[in-house]
């Protein structure tokens, strides 16, 4: 099957302009030549009438009969012939083709009028009246050769001029369209190059005010969406890596220890239970991230008891806390605290705060759940060194760790993940520098 011809925008615009100009030139040339032809015809008629009137004024009427003051001018120029009729009798005629004389004779007894003969001469009949009585007719002829020649020259000249104008318009339009569309081609090439290598580049044409700046703004928005999508993908990869690293390490360690030597059935059971717990934690992590994505897209409206998610978070760090000699203190209200998020997602929001507190606390970590207006407040405190005055925001940046981190393990992604997950569900996480240990607060919307 033959593919349809596909033309570029510049070619289509050029063809459209050339087509419109061609139609306009054809109409203009036709109108000009029609107007000129009419004016030439009117001029020939006026000249013939003037000549007929001049000849009539030179005639004499004697006894009711037209008398020519001169004998018939047999040598009259063919370009301006005259006929004089007394009644219907030809009393003066020029030396012209017989068809002209026949046509002049047909005008002898008629009213004042004009006719064209054989496309070469125009005749004008003017009655001769004496005492209110018609006694004869004067017929004057005007050669149309000069007029026809003028019309032909005008037609050929107008056609050549139209062709020249069309060629000039075509060349000029092609050049203008090339210049006008060049920025579009460059922006398209730049956008394609940036989308592959540098998503932070923008056209930055300011407030849109014409087609090109609107196109630039549209491409900037497209690049921003691509960059956001890529950043989201990179962030999700980093978060998954961060959140799954610990349980995977524990599973690998338990498996290695179990396979290193023969162990009792009880020891194998303990190892398998540890593997199961960590696999379950990985499952909850993945489900929490998926839940966060659903929340962000507005696809999830699940509610849960904040106490359940907080308790799960506390239990997820209890082993590390016990190994580090950290006492975990939990305070929750006696009645349910319904929040507009899933329990697993709430656990993943609070877990990085608890993990951070257990890592940097000295002897205790406290978790308190309260209600303030339309939000559930989760306060996580520890008796460690706390956050520096100039670090209350930077600690939430991906890959950034506070000065208190020192040589401790960590990738600097936990707090960034916690804040992002909280913001996804309409909440927030903040910290303050109070000089008396770490204090992180998570505020989450009530259901």
Handedness of CA 349, 354, 355, 360 (dihedral sign): positive
The residue-averaged pLDDT of 424-445 equals: 84
Q: What are the φ/ψ torsions at residue 4 (nearest 5 degrees)?
A: -65, 150
Please provide the average confidence, as pLDDT, over all residues in the chain: 81
- Cα(239)–Cα(419) distance, rounded to whole angstroms? 12
Most confident of 228-237, 261-270, 371-380: 371-380
Tell me the per-residue pLDDT of 74-84, one tens digit each, with 9 for 90 and over: 434 445 788 99
Closest CA to 101 of 87, 86, 84, 126: 84
pLDDT top residue among 131 and 440: 440
Q: What percent of the chain stands above pLDDT 90?
A: 29
354 pLDDT exceeds 80? yes
Q: What are the φ/ψ torsions at residue 98 (nearest 5 degrees)?
A: -60, -30
Q: Tell me how crowded residue 356 is: count the other CB atoms within 10 A of its CB.
A: 27
User: For residue 421, what pLDDT band results from cuts at 50, 70 and 90?
Assistant: confident
Residue that the structure tokens 């989450």 belong to: 444
> Which fold does the domain 199-300 belong to in CATH?
Helix Hairpins (1.10.287)
70: left (phi over 0), alpha (psi -120 to 50) or beta: beta
Least confident of 53-67, 137-151, 231-245: 231-245
User: For residue 275, what pLDDT band results from cuts at 50, 70 and 90?
Assistant: confident
pLDDT top residue among 344 and 296: 344
The residue-averaged pLDDT of 272-278 equals: 76
Least confident of 30-39, 47-56, 200-209: 200-209
- Cα(316)–Cα(277) distance, rounded to whole angstroms? 10
Which residues are CB-neighbours of 47 under 8 A, at least 6 positions away?
Answer: 142
Tell me the per-residue pLDDT of 400-417, one tens digit each, with 9 for 90 and over: 655 555 444 444 567 877
Confidence (pLDDT) at 229: 66
- Cα(356)–Cα(439) distance, rounded to whole angstroms? 10
List alpha helices for 198-264, DSSP H: 211-260
Confidence (pLDDT) at 122: 92
Q: What are the residue boundaries of the structural domains of the chain, listed by start?
A: 9-151, 199-300, 301-447
Confidence (pLDDT) at 296: 56
pTM equals 0.49
Pair of tokens at residue 387:
């956050």
297 pLDDT exceeds 90? no
Tell me the per-residue pLDDT of 153-201, one tens digit each, with 9 for 90 and over: 999 999 999 999 999 999 999 998 888 877 777 777 776 776 656 666 7
Same fold, 199-300 and 301-447: no
Residues 301-447, CATH architecture: 2-Layer Sandwich (3.30)
Confidence (pLDDT) at 241: 65
Confidence (pLDDT) at 433: 66
């Amino acid at each position: 099957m033959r593919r349809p011809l596909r033309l570029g925008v510049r070619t289509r615009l050029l063809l459209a302009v050339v087509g419109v100009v061609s139609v306009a030139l054809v109409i203009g040339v036709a109108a000009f030549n029609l107007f000129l032809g009419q004016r030439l015809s009117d001029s020939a008629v006026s000249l013939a009438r003037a000549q007929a009137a001049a000849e009539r004024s030179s005639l004499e009427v004697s006894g009711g009969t037209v008398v020519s003051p001169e004998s018939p001018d047999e040598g009259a120029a063919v370009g301006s012939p005259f006929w004089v009729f007394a009644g219907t009798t030809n009393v003066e005629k020029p030396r012209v083709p017989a068809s002209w004389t026949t046509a002049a004779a047909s005008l002898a007894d008629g009213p004042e009028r004009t006719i064209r003969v054989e496309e070469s001469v125009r005749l004008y009949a003017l009655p001769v009246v004496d005492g209110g009585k018609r006694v004869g007719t004067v017929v004057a002829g005007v050669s149309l050769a000069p007029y026809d020649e003028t019309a032909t020259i005008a037609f050929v000249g107008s056609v050549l001029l139209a062709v020249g104008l069309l060629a000039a318009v075509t060349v000029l339009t092609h050049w203008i369209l090339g210049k006008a569309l060049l920025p579009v081609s460059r922006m398209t090439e730049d956008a394609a190059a940036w989308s592959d290598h540098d998503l932070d580049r923008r056209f930055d044409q300011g407030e849109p005010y014409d087609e090109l700046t609107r196109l630039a703004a549209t491409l900037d928005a497209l690049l921003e969406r691509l960059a956001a999508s890529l950043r989201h993908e990179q962030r999700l990869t980093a978060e998954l890596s961060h959140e799954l690293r610990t349980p995977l390490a524990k599973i690998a360690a338990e498996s290695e220890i179990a396979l290193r030597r023969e162990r009792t059935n009880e020891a194998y059971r303990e190892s398998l239970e540890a593997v199961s717990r960590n696999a379950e934690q990985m499952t909850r992590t993945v489900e929490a991230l998926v839940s966060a994505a659903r929340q962000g897209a507005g696809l999830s409206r699940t509610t849960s008891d904040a106490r359940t998610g907080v308790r799960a978070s506390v239990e997820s760090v209890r082993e590390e806390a016990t190994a580090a000699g950290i006492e975990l203190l939990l305070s929750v209200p006696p009645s349910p605290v319904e929040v507009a998020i899933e329990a697993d997602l709430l656990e993943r929001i609070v877990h990085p705060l608890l993990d951070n507190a257990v890592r940097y606390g000295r002897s205790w970590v406290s978790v308190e759940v309260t209600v303030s207006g339309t939000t559930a407040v989760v306060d996580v405190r520890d008796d460690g060194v706390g956050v520096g005055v100039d670090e209350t925001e930077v600690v939430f940046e991906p890959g950034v760790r506070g000065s208190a981190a020192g040589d401790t393990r960590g990738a600097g992604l936990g707090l960034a993940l916690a804040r992002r997950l909280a913001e996804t569900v309409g909440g927030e996480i903040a910290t303050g520098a109070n000089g008396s240990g770490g204090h992180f607060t998570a505020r989450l919307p009530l259901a």
